[in-house]
């Protein structure tokens, strides 16, 4: 007998209700996902975060599991909250998933500065348009075809022509007396310079020539529209990767894909669907027609790359973490179902290893680290971060699987950088906060957590091992001391009490939260240290550390230094470089020379596998600790 | 107010009824086609044939139009028969379309002799399979990917790999300890011999290597399964081209495609659907798995070629009849939605002109006419026939649009070569007939009509201008004389009276039928004559005339000579060569050298445009007449 499960998106909207028939013994999360109802599960449904919490509106909530109690706390459990991943159904219930955050308010970093700011870029996208008049033969004796007449008009003897171009050819050639505009692509990397005809359009559209740079991150996706002739950025759209509902980090997502083949299809269609939404939005905002987009460059980590192509990433997640393919790939938009010009070239930059993807190659291109006389480091912070170290002589890279903690994931009261998130924290005799949008506080996001930890370290509330100093709170200023508490077995710092900064409920930092951040920052810091170790580069020989990524622009560099997220370099040697992965994609968009370079750079990058290095464990344990103070 | 139209496939089967709501003033044919109900309309719905006849089972038949009377005759009109293309609906009616003929009984010529009978063929299909063991790396330090390991195992440094191969790679490489079988294709025509990986299969399947030769004719489609290593034909399937319901000849079909863009899609999906039916059937009969088919070679006339690719053939049907493209094309089966190995290479042979297609190139290859020391002629008889003339020095071709009359179309009591068709006729003091399957006579097919005309010419029933000699019937033997009648304005020869040869109704040859055959045979004969004229080749310099095509094997050569369908050459210089177009496709299937040759041969063929030649009209008028007797 199936059990009815009613899911209510908004209690005030009768249309937002859906009732599912569920086999008894199924969890709410699995039942919802099976029926196509999205409930966010950042930790992949392992009871490690609060993102899948639901509130019971009708029916009896089951007894709380240990995970319900640890993650949600007594108050929420009493109020009828449960984790959807823990909650097994046995009778009819009605639940409301936690209201989704407003995606548009997310502080996901856009594309940042464009290629025009970089200088030194030879603008040659490979895409050329010309207006020609094609003579359609009038006499039957003339042995020819529409296509041959077209090639003659554009001065080619042979070319690759996609089926969608040929299909529209007869009417295009005959409908407009002004002639037709022919778009060709000469790949800088192909041998012999064979051309491809991408489009034949009625009339004169020669000045309309656009491209897209797409950066598919584990957590966020950024799409940038670029005018190919000038390299100018026209618009940028970013959103959460819609795959996050099936797992916040790569390993959860790979596990989801492994579970059954339909799941891979689900992940694949989600990302294609999102890219088409981006294309629609970016075209609407900019007034550019989608059919005028002839080139697309995509970067992303190996797992995102494989899923985009419909390749099962299961083995990327198993030792020895080998990718299925690594070479640069060019497809037609038609093959990938992207709604731009059907024959548009979609270029995927090459990969380096299972966890060092095309995004790292993009970072290398944008930072010019491959051409540096001095040794530099680039740190791309994200759920699946990467570290690059080197110069024109040698170049190393490793992955830094920080997980979502630095973005508020798997943190008791953590949230993404959205409206209502505590994003700045100062600690003196008390704790002072700033919220995004200066509205009532709902939770704390990554930059707030890092500020908070830096301040607590400075005040001695946390020691260098990360332990919350409940036993020594008497030494603290009274207001601060009152915030350091022991509840049951758990050490906590009360960041906000109900009413403070408009918080409706208490917002705390737990001992476990501190450990999560230690794991995350340990992953990044040990990645940097391991590369220095492997390359034999002490800190004083590092000319520059470049922070990149969707996270890097919002975190305070001082706080990051304080908690040891980045190595202790002089402040002036550290700088932001924006979303370097996307910028690398833009470079390849406007320059075929850069796209060819992506392959040589990818081949040069030496992948350092952290986990298999004998010295890694010691370094990682060291990096988990905090610096011992100023 | 819509009018209900009920269409009954079989009056004894209550399930075979469908009722449509039709706007008053619509013809039954249009209403049926709009609703997706197939009613054959060989002449394209112009009242020129009887194929779309329906019988009224309920409701009042409308007054017969002139076309109803001409095509159906008084008896059928009285019995409630009407042409669906003429019959405008105003009130509720129930009709039964003429029972469809049994397709399996059609005498459509199969593939005929295989390439093994040709000799002199270098068997090299370009498709190679090898069993390899791929070392999946065990150590993480090894910087590689599944694909790179595969390429190393097969000894390639680089190769084109389709997306569907990559998608299945990780599990294929890890699932079977026996290794994987890798299928590669080295195109004989590509520069540099770049290889393409077509498939990676678990275990050892190296001996399974098959291909398909497909001949898409206006009226019939023939698919042949070939073992690529030996060139052996394993099975052959043929059926009516399902597009015939939208027009029997090319011009009707082009007009249908022009009518609206949905119609092109309809024609396109019909042919793809049929090819997939063929693939399913041929695989079932032969026990070959569809995924073991790695190469497909397609021939067909220009219009069929364009429709297969989804290219609008409208302009092929308008002066100067230019094709949209002519070059040889290779696609993946995936792109064309053919259900063989997804990355199988589908090779379309090149075209010559708007009405001289890849089928003519196939005939040239199979007959070796391009390499002949002496001048030879190849006549490919079909609804859209072609004539080739030449030797190793020069080669000419023209189209011979015979129309469907020689296949029983647009003939009062004509039918295709199916069960019950009169296929052989002898005329002495009377008319004697043979029917296919020796069952009751239902109508007369092409070979029967040609025999009949030859006999009537010999007996003086028809004179050399084609006129039925009603006025001179007194000079004929009495039994024959009784068959020559004048009915109203129309001259007729009664071939069968009710009861004769089991005929349920009279079967007649009308004066108009004779004119239709004269047009058809005039088209072919004048094509041959024009090529001789343009090339300056008198009959005595023609070393051989080769009859090819789905029709050529069933007609009597003597009768064909008697009516002047082919020029008066000594009988021993005329021979059958079977379905040469399909044989040409098979050659290209098993030999990349032959496929490369197709391009040079196509480029060598000089297209002679009959209609625009100043001497054509005179020659055509001459050829419409019959030879003046022995």
ipTM: 0.76
Given an 8 Å threshold on Cβ–Cβ distance, is B161 in contact with A325? yes
Mean pLDDT of A276-290: 92
| Helix boundaries (H) for A26-135 | 28-34, 66-78
Given an 8 Å threshold on Cβ–Cβ distance, is B144 in contact with A322? yes
Structure tokens that stand for A181 in this block: 């505009």
* Among B residues 192-251, those touching chain A with beta carbons less than 8 Å apart: 192
pLDDT value for B550:
60
Which of A475, A492, A516 terminates a domain? The answer is A516
CB pairs under 8 A between A and B: 126
Whether B278 is covered by a domain: the verdict is no
Radius of gyration for chain B, computed over Cα atoms and rounded to the nearest angstrom: 27
Rounded Cα distance, B583 and B366, in Å = 6
**Pair A231, A184 in one domain:** no
Which three-class secondary structure state does DSSP give residue A95? Answer: strand
Which of B138, B140, B146 comes nearest A324 by C-beta? B146
Task: Judge whether residue A278 has pLDDT over 90.
Answer: yes
**Pair A155, A68 in one domain:** no
Task: Judge whether residue B198 has pLDDT over 60.
Answer: yes
* Among B residues 90-119, those touching chain A with beta carbons less than 8 Å apart: none
At B570-585, the pLDDT tens digits run 999 998 787 899 999 9
Rounded Cα distance, B148 and B164, in Å = 16
Which of A453, A481, A516 terminates a domain? The answer is A516
**Pair A291, A235 in one domain:** yes
Give the single-character DSSP code of B27: B
The helix (run of H) or strand (run of E) holding residue A457 is: helix A446-458
Mean pLDDT of B195-207: 91
The helix (run of H) or strand (run of E) holding residue A212 is: strand A210-216
Q: Which residues does residue B399 pair with via DSSP β-bridges, in sequence order?
A: B386
Task: Judge whether residue B309 has pLDDT over 50.
Answer: yes
At A502-532, the pLDDT tens digits run 898 999 999 999 999 999 999 999 999 999 9
Rounded Cα distance, B41 and B67, in Å = 14
Whether A118 is covered by a domain: the verdict is no
Q: What share of chain B is helix, strand, coil (3-state, %, to 5)?
A: 35, 25, 40
Mean pLDDT over each residue of chain B, to the nearest integer: 87
Given an 8 Å threshold on Cβ–Cβ distance, is B145 in contact with A309? no
Given an 8 Å threshold on Cβ–Cβ distance, is B170 in contact with A319? no
CATH at B195: 3.10.20.880
Most trustworthy range by pLDDT among A109-123, A387-401, B10-24: A387-401
Q: CA nearest B375: which of B569, B622, B576?
A: B569
Whether A121 is covered by a domain: the verdict is no
C-alpha separations of B347 from A308, B212, B300, B331, B355 in Å: 29, 10, 12, 7, 20
Beta carbons within 8 Å of B109's beta carbon, 6+ residues apart: B220, B222, B238, B549, B550, B551, B552, B553, B554, B578, B579
Which of B487, B517, B547 terminates a domain? The answer is B517
Residue B194: closest C-alpha in chain A: A191
Task: Judge whether residue B427 has pLDDT over 50.
Answer: yes
Residue A158: closest C-alpha in chain B: B327
The pTM for the full model equals: 0.78
pLDDT value for A591:
94
pLDDT value for A193:
64
B156 reaches A (C-beta below 8 A): no
Structure tokens that stand for B64 in this block: 């017969």
pLDDT value for A469:
95
If phi > 0 it is left, if psi is from -120 to 50 it is alpha, else beta; for residue A327 that is: beta
Residue B302: closest C-alpha in chain A: A145
Which of B141, B145, B322 comes nearest A325 by C-beta? B145
Give the single-character DSSP code of B550: T
Q: Are B577 and B388 in contact (CB under 8 A)?
A: no
pLDDT value for B395:
97
Whether B581 is covered by a domain: the verdict is yes
Distance, in angstroms, between B466 CA and closest chain A CA? Answer: 32
**Pair A397, A409 in one domain:** no
CA angle in degrees (0–180, nearest 5) for A44-A50-A52:
60
Which three-class secondary structure state does DSSP give residue A369? Answer: helix
CATH at B92: 3.10.20.30
How many CB atoms within 10 Å of residue B278? 23
Which of A170, A310, A324 comes nearest B147 by C-beta? A324
**Pair A336, A194 in one domain:** no
Residue B323: closest C-alpha in chain A: A145
**Between B521 and A45, whose confidence is greater?**
B521
The burial class, CB within 10 Å (0-12 / 13-18 / 19+), for A470 is middle
**Pair B540, B558 in one domain:** yes
Bond from prior residue into B600 cis (ω within 30 degrees of 0): no
**Pair B18, B95 in one domain:** yes
Place of tokens 């009920």: B6
Rounded Cα distance, A354 and A334, in Å = 27
pLDDT value for A210:
96
Mean pLDDT of B381-407: 89
Task: Judge whether residue A48 has pLDDT over 90.
Answer: no
Sign of the alpha-carbon dihedral angle for A486, A489, A491, A493:
negative
- Number of structural domains, chain B? 4
Range of the domain at A549: 358-404+518-624
Give the single-character DSSP code of B382: S
In chain B, what percentage of residues exceed pLDDT 90? 50
pLDDT value for A320:
81
pLDDT value for B118:
63
Structure tokens that stand for B514 in this block: 């004779």
**Pair A533, A447 in one domain:** no
CATH at A602: 3.30.420.40
Mean pLDDT of A329-352: 95
pLDDT value for A192:
53
**Pair B397, B422 in one domain:** no
Chain A contacts of B324, Cβ < 8 Å? 145-147, 166, 169-170
- Between A94-103, A212-221, A517-526, B64-73, the lowest mean confidence (pLDDT) is in A94-103
**Pair A18, A70 in one domain:** yes
Mutate to test the interface with A, among B139, B140, B166, B614 (most CBs of A within 10 A): B140
A603 reaches B (C-beta below 8 A): no
pLDDT value for A551:
55
Place of tokens 């968009």: A589
Q: Are B407 and B383 in contact (CB under 8 A)?
A: yes
Chain A contacts of B257, Cβ < 8 Å? none
**Pair A425, A499 in one domain:** yes
Distance, in angstroms, between A306 CA and closest chain B CA? Answer: 9
Mean pLDDT of B478-507: 94
Task: Judge whether residue B596 has pLDDT over 90.
Answer: yes
Given an 8 Å threshold on Cβ–Cβ distance, is B145 in contact with A324? yes
Query: What is the DSSP track for A286-301?
Result: HT--GGGEEEEEEEE-
Given an 8 Å threshold on Cβ–Cβ distance, is B321 in contact with A147? no
Task: Judge whether residue A609 has pLDDT over 60.
Answer: yes
pLDDT value for B192:
53
Rounded Cα distance, B353 and A164, in Å = 21
The helix (run of H) or strand (run of E) holding residue B220 is: strand B220-227
pLDDT value for A358:
95
**Between B415 and B431, whose confidence is greater?**
B431
Mutate to test the interface with A, among B145, B172, B189, B361 (most CBs of A within 10 A): B145
A320 reaches B (C-beta below 8 A): yes
Q: Which residues does residue B576 pair with via DSSP β-bridges, in sequence order?
A: B547
Rounded Cα distance, A253 and A244, in Å = 8
Which of B138, B166, B323 comes nearest A320 by C-beta? B138
Whether B493 is covered by a domain: the verdict is yes
pLDDT value for A109:
37
Whether A630 is covered by a domain: the verdict is no
Rounded Cα distance, B254 and A272, in Å = 37
Distance, in angstroms, between B558 CA and closest chain A CA? Answer: 35
First-to-last C-alpha distance (Å) of chain B: 64
Q: How confident is the model at residue B293 (pLDDT cuts 50, 70, 90)?
A: very high
Task: Judge whether residue A486 has pLDDT over 70.
Answer: yes
Mean pLDDT over each residue of chain A, to the nearest integer: 87
Q: How confident is the model at residue A402 (pLDDT cuts 50, 70, 90)?
A: confident
At A7-26, the pLDDT tens digits run 888 777 777 788 888 888 88
Mutate to test the interface with B, among A134, A136, A145 (most CBs of B within 10 A): A145
**Pair A197, A263 in one domain:** no
How many CB atoms within 10 Å of residue B194? 14
Task: Judge whether residue B532 has pLDDT over 50.
Answer: yes
Which three-class secondary structure state does DSSP give residue B554? Answer: coil
Given an 8 Å threshold on Cβ–Cβ distance, is B324 in contact with A161? no
Whether A550 is covered by a domain: the verdict is yes
Whether A113 is covered by a domain: the verdict is no
Rounded Cα distance, A2 and A315, in Å = 36
Task: Judge whether residue A246 has pLDDT over 90.
Answer: no
A575 reaches B (C-beta below 8 A): no
Task: Judge whether residue B630 has pLDDT over 70.
Answer: no
């Amino acid at each position: 007998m199936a059990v009815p499960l009613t899911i209510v998106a908004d209690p005030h909207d009768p249309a937002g209700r859906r009732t599912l028939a569920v086999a008894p013994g199924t969890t709410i999360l699995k039942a919802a996902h099976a029926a196509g109802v999205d409930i966010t599960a950042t930790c992949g449904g392992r009871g490690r975060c609060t993102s899948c919490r639901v509130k019971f509106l009708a029916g009896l909530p089951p007894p709380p599991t240990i995970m319900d109690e640890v993650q949600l706390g007594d108050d929420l459990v009493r109020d009828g909250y449960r984790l959807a991943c823990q909650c097994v159904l046995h009778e009819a219930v009605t639940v409301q998933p936690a209201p989704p955050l407003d995606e548009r308010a997310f502080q996901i970093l856009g594309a940042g500065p464009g290629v025009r700011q970089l200088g030194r870029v030879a603008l040659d996208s490979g895409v050329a348009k010309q207006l020609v008049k094609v003579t359609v033969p009038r006499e039957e004796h003339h042995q020819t075809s529409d296509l041959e007449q077209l090639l003659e008009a554009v001065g080619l003897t042979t070319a690759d022509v996609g089926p969608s171009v040929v299909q529209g050819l007869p009417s295009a050639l005959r409908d407009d007396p002004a002639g037709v505009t022919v778009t060709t692509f000469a790949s800088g990397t192909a041998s012999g310079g064979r051309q491809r005809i991408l489009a034949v359009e009625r009339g004169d559209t020669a000045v309309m020539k656009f491209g897209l740079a797409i950066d598919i991150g584990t957590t966020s996706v950024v799409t940038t529209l670029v005018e190919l002739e000038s390299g100018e950025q026209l618009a940028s759209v970013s959103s959460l990767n819609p795959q996050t509902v099936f797992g916040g980090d790569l390993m959860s997502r790979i596990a989801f894909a492994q579970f059954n083949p339909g799941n891979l299809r689900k992940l694949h269609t989600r990302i294609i669907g999102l890219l088409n939404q981006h294309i629609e939005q970016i075209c609407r905002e900019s007034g550019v027609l989608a059919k005028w987009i002839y080139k697309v460059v995509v970067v992303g980590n190996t797992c995102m790359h494989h899923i985009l192509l419909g390749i099962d990433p299961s083995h990327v997640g198993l030792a020895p973490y080998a990718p299925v393919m690594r070479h640069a790939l060019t497809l037609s938009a038609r093959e990938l179902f992207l709604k731009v010009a059907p024959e548009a070239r979609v270029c995927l930059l090459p990969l380096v290893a299972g966890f060092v993807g095309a995004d790292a190659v993009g970072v290398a291109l944008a930072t010019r680290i491959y051409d540096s006389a001095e040794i530099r480091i680039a740190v791309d912070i994200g759920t699946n971060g990467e570290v690059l170290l080197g110069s024109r002589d040698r170049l190393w890279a490793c992955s830094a699987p920080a997980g979502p903690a630095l973005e508020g994931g798997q943190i008791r009261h953590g949230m993404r950088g959205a409206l209502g998130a505590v994003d700045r924290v100062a600690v003196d005799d008390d704790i002072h906060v700033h919220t995004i949008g200066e509205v009532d506080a709902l939770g704390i996001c990554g930059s707030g957590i890092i500020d908070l930890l830096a301040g607590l370290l400075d005040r001695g509330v946390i020691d260098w091992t990360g332990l919350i100093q409940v036993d020594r709170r008497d030494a603290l200023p009274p207001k601060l001391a009152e915030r350091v508490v022991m509840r049951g077995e758990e050490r906590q710092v009360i960041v906000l009490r109900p009413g403070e900064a408009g918080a409706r409920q208490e917002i705390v930092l737990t001992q476990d939260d501190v450990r999560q951040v230690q794991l995350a920052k340990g992953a990044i810091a040990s990645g940097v240290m391991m590369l220095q170790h492997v390359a034999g580069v002490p800190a004083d020989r590092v000319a520059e550390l470049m922070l990149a990524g969707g996270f890097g622009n919002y975190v305070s560099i001082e706080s990051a230094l304080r908690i040891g997220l980045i190595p202790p370099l002089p402040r002036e040697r550290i700088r932001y470089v924006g979303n370097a992965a996307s910028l690398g994609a833009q470079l390849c968009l406007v320059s075929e020379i850069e796209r060819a370079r992506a392959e040589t750079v990818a081949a040069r990058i030496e992948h350092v596998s952290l986990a298999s290095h004998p010295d890694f464990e010691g370094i990682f344990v060291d990096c988990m600790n905090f610096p011992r103070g100023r």
